[in-house]
Amino acid sequence: MTDKNSVLTDKDFSELHNDFKSAPKSDVLSRIIEQNGINQAAQDPDAQVRLNPVFSVDLQTGSVTNQKQSGRCWLFSLVNTLRHQFASKYKVKDFNLSQKYLFFWDKIERANIFYDRILATASRPADDREVENYLSFPGDDGGQWAMAAALVQKYGVVPVSDFPETANVENTGAFDIVMNRKLRIDAANLRQMVKGEKSDDEISAARKKMLSEVYRITAYSFGEPPTTVDFAYRDDDKKYHKVSGLTPKEFYAKYFDVDLDDYVVLSNSPEKDYNQLYSLPSQNNVVGGKQIQFLNLPMDVLKKATIAQLKDGETVWFGNDVLEQMDRKKGFLDSHLFRYSELFDTDLEMDKGTRLQYHQAEVSHAMTFTGVDLDGDTPTKWKVENSWGDKNGEKGYFTMNDDWMDDYVYEVVVHKKYLSDDQKTLLKQAPIELPAWDSLA
C-alpha cells in the first residue's frame, strides 16, 4: 500500500470513458435509465405476481393510521397493537388511541434524561463520540418499542378523541428545529456550569428552569394532555357506551389486557453473537422506566414466534429498514424488487451482517405484522400494516416477500410465551451494553 494520493489524470479519464463505451448496449441502457429513472428501469415486473395480497393468516384490523410528516412510527406501531385489541374485544371498528398523548410525554421525558446524560459526560470534550451522539438529534422523533412501552406504563393511554392530532405533530419539522436548538443551548449551559464548578443546587435549579421551558414549548405546540378520559362511543352493534372520570393509567388498566413486561424484543443482527441479551441504555427515554433490550437470535426463531402470535390473533410490532427495496405506491417490499446489480452490471449485494457493520443498514421504521401466507409451515409473504395513510399499498397495507424479512427486518416484539424454555433463560443473563452508535440504535 502506497502513501501517495491517487490523482486522477487525463489517461485515467480516457480509460474510464473507453471502459464505459465498451460495455454491451451502454448507449441503450443510458437512454433507458436517464429517461425513466433507476428504479423504474430496475424494477422486476414479476414482483406483482409474487406479492399478490392474499394471506392464509389474515387478521382483520380495519383502516390504517397516518403519521404524516413525523417520525412517530414506533409509537404508531405500538398503539396499533393496542387499538386492535380494544376494537376486537369491545366491538369498535377503527377505534384509535392518541399518539400525540404519548408523543407529548416523550418530549418531556426525553429532555429530562438528556440533561442527565449531558451532566454525566460534562467532563468530556464536546467532540467525544458519545457526547456527539447525544447532541446530534437531542429532540429526535424516532424511537424504540421499549421507549413506547415505557411511556404507556408511566402515563397510560387516551382515545384519540380526547387528544386529537394537530398541526405540529402531523408535521414536526418546525417543532424539531426549535427543540433541538433549545436542548443544545441547555447542554452548553449545563456543561459550562460544571466547568465553572457551580454547586449542585445551582445546577439543579437551572435544570428545573430548563425543563419548565421545554414543557412550555411542547404545551404551546401540542396542547396540554388530558388528565382524565371522557370517551363516548357506539359499538358495532350500535350500543352506546361512555367512559368518564378515569385517569389515563386507569383507563389502560381497565380496558387493555396487555402487560407490556410480558413482551420481549427479538433482534436479528448477524454481526453480533446469537443467544445473547443486549441493552441500549443511550436510547432509554424515561428515567427509571422500561429499559431497551434485545435478545439476538437467528431469523427462523423470529419468524416462528411471529407466526405463532399472529395465529393466536395478535398483531406484531417490528423494526425494519423500509427504504430498502420498497415501492411505496404499490406497497411492495421485496429483496429483488429493484435489480440494481443486473442493471449496472456491478455487484451491489451485501449480506445482512455486513450491511449493519458498514452502515448500509439501519432500523429506520416500525410497522405491524397483521398476516402471513404459509405454504405448510413455511412463510412465503407477510401482510404489513403501515402508518402512512390509505393512499399507499392496498388501502395502507403493504405486502412483504419472505426474503425481505430475512434481509431488512431486525426486530420483532412477541409475548414471552412463544419462546422456548432455553430462550427464556437467556432473558435472565446480564445484558451486554451496546454503544450509542450501534447499528441497532
The residues carrying an active-site annotation are 73, 365, 386
Q: Which residue has the cell 435509465?
A: 33
From the CB of residue 411, how many other CB atoms can be counted at a distance below 10 Å? Answer: 22
**Is residue 367 a contact partner of residue 300, using CB atoms and an 8 Å limit?**
no
Query: Comparing C-alpha atoms, which of 260, 185, 256, 178 is closest to residue 222?
Result: 178
- Look up cell 431497551; give the residue: 292
Residue-by-residue DSSP string for 129-189 = HHHHHHHHSTT-S---HHHHHHHHHHH---BGGGS---HHHHB-HHHHHHHHHHHHHHHHH
**232, 235, 237, 239: CA torsion to nearest 10:** -20
Identity of the amino acid at 220: Y
C-alpha pair distances (Å), 335 with each of 15, 303, 338: 34, 17, 8
What is the rounded distance in angstroms from the CA atom of residue 248 to the CA atom of residue 227?
A: 7
Residue 122 and residue 368: Cα distance in Å, rounded?
39
Q: 327: which residues sit within 8 A by CB, 6+ positions away?
A: 39, 43, 47, 337
CB within 8 Å of 162: residues ≥ 6 apart: 98, 101, 226, 229, 230, 231
Cα four-point dihedral sign 118, 121, 125, 131: negative
